[in-house]
Structure 1
Amino acid sequence: MTTQTVLITGALTGIGRATALAFGKLGVNIVVSGRRPEAGQALAAELRALGAQAEFIKADVTQEVEVRALIEGAVARFGRLDVAVNNAGVEGQNKPVTEQTEQNYRDTFETNVLGALLSIKHEMRVMQAQGAGAIVNLSSIAGQVGMVGASVYVASKHAVEGLTRSAALEGAPVGVRVNAVAPGPVQTDMLERFLGRDEAVKNGFLASIPARRAATPEEIAETIVWLASDKARYLTGQSVAVDGAYTAQ
């Protein structure tokens, strides 16, 4: 049986890192990507220690030439691409819509939307030629509801959900599945930056989650691994909310 090859962007911290470790424990071939070579090489070594064949390739997902080189590099190293997890993303500035700036829009959309589009574009080309593959995009509950102070981030994640559905329609006839995972609050540095250091604000937000807590990165990673697996082989074009019942309210 051919060993699967998995590619993860934004793999160096948070959900991306947890996902890399979850796949690494399965002994797959894995390419991790990000913009910090030292951290990337350390993660690749950690994955190899788990039994995976692992490589780090530096890439900025807002630059198409780098995205193309990343995916071509993964295929050159391992011969194919079975799973792609498009995790690279930023939270942008948490401010009222009346205070949002053109620069914040550009910065947020270039990473969250353009980065996802370019990644899907080149991953899909490889997977269509293979006749099989699974792409998992990282969305958010912000891709399904509105959020005060986060208009630009919310808009970017709604766009990711639209990209996911449209790409799924194109991929389904040739055996390529495209889905999204939409986490609620997760115990990461991004959540700390987004909510700020005010414990009252953080506790108030977590109290609005029926589960009364944030998820761990590992809980999101487990969902991603399942969604990319053959156990979900008829599931495509969907966004799976992993949010402690927040969007069920």
Structure 2
Amino acid sequence: MTSAPENPSAARTIVITGAGSGIGKATAQLLLARGWNVVLAGRTEATLAQASDGHDKALVVPADVTDPDAVDALFTRAAQRFGRVDVLFNNAGVFGPAVPIDELSPQAWEEVCSINLTGAMNAARAAFAHFKLHGGGRIINNGSISAQVPRVNSVAYSVTKHAIAGLTKSLELDGRPYRIRATQLDIGNTASDLLDDFGATQGALQPSGQRLVEPTFPLAEAADAVAYIAGIPLGTSINQFTITAGGMPYIGRG
């Protein structure tokens, strides 16, 4: 999947949260290889530095997305380095405990909400404000197929990812006057550490009570999907994009 930027002569800039591992890291490395300016954000500077591999178009910014001041500072640093931001990949997230709701502690619930929902809101708010001043931009929110069909014992994750759908639609609606576009990207079973949190590679619990080793697909293919959406001109909206491993339990959830 390829597309040309609106101004091919100018390098474009993307901010990626959760860029130190998984799809965030894979997307950062792919876009750096394609000539983008990439701002890698996350909690751990060492993993961000490793992901950036010293690339001259990379900017490493340690930032906790649950802290709105830190997110504002992230966009300030991005603008100072590259002039403007074109795309936000709102990617930071956690799965949380794989337990039924009566075993989910209030503390665990708050942690999942603070990262998956409040963190996404903080980053989207900062990006929206930046894009209003710079003629538009694109926000790609990393949802999940759990935003469409929950997994067993995933109440905190599923609730926050369902909320991402509302966030994305609101951004797309409110962003119309400013050429701000928003996409909900729902991914199923890309080969990352997140799969280990619910046992997909060892035997994920199914609605039938059985456990199933589920198919996965390469991180590089998920990163390429993000790159495709990021590169689409602002005259086009991609409101929702679903990509899953072929043959995985999704329609009907097994």
| TM-score, normalization by structure 1 | 0.89
Q: Using the alignment, how far apart are the partners of 1:44 and 1:200 within structure 2?
A: 33
Q: Using the alignment, how far apart are the partners of 1:164 and 1:201 within structure 2?
A: 29
**2:78 alignment counterpart:** 74
The answer as to whether partners of 2:63 and 2:70 remain within 8 angstroms in 1 is yes
Note if 1:4 corresponds to 2:12.
Answer: yes
**1:55-96 deviation line (CA, Å, top 9, x unaligned):** 100000000110000011101111000011011001010001
**2:226 alignment counterpart:** 224
Letter in 1 for 2:33: K
Q: Using the alignment, how far apart are the partners of 2:164 and 2:204 within structure 1?
A: 27
Aligned counterparts, 1:84-233, within 5 A: 84-195=88-199, 199-201=202-204, 204-207=211-214, 213-230=215-232, 233=235
Q: Using the alignment, how far apart are the partners of 1:114 and 1:200 within structure 2?
A: 31
Aligned counterparts, 1:31-42, within 5 A: 31-42=39-50
Equivalent position SS for 1:182: strand
Pick from 62, 71, 81 the counterpart of residue 58 of structure 1: 62
| TM-score, normalization by structure 2 | 0.87
**1:202-239 deviation line (CA, Å, top 9, x unaligned):** 894455xxxxx212211111111111112674124x22
Give 1:24 shift.
Answer: 0.8
Q: Using the alignment, how far apart are the partners of 1:18 and 1:64 within structure 2?
A: 25
Equivalent position SS for 1:103: helix
The answer as to whether partners of 1:187 and 1:215 remain within 8 angstroms in 2 is yes
The answer as to whether partners of 2:187 and 2:243 remain within 8 angstroms in 1 is yes
The answer as to whether partners of 1:206 and 1:214 remain within 8 angstroms in 2 is no
Equivalent position SS for 2:123: helix
Letter in 1 for 2:228: W
Identity %: 30
Equivalent position SS for 2:189: coil
Q: Using the alignment, how far apart are the partners of 2:76 and 2:82 within structure 1?
A: 10
**Aligned length in residues:** 238
Give 1:30 shift.
Answer: 1.1
Pick from 20, 31, 42 the counterpart of residue 23 of structure 1: 31
Could you say which structure has the higher helix fraction? 1
Letter in 2 for 1:217: L
Q: Using the alignment, how far apart are the partners of 1:112 and 1:21 within structure 2?
A: 23
Q: Using the alignment, how far apart are the partners of 1:3 and 1:200 within structure 2?
A: 43
Give 1:146 shift.
Answer: 2.2
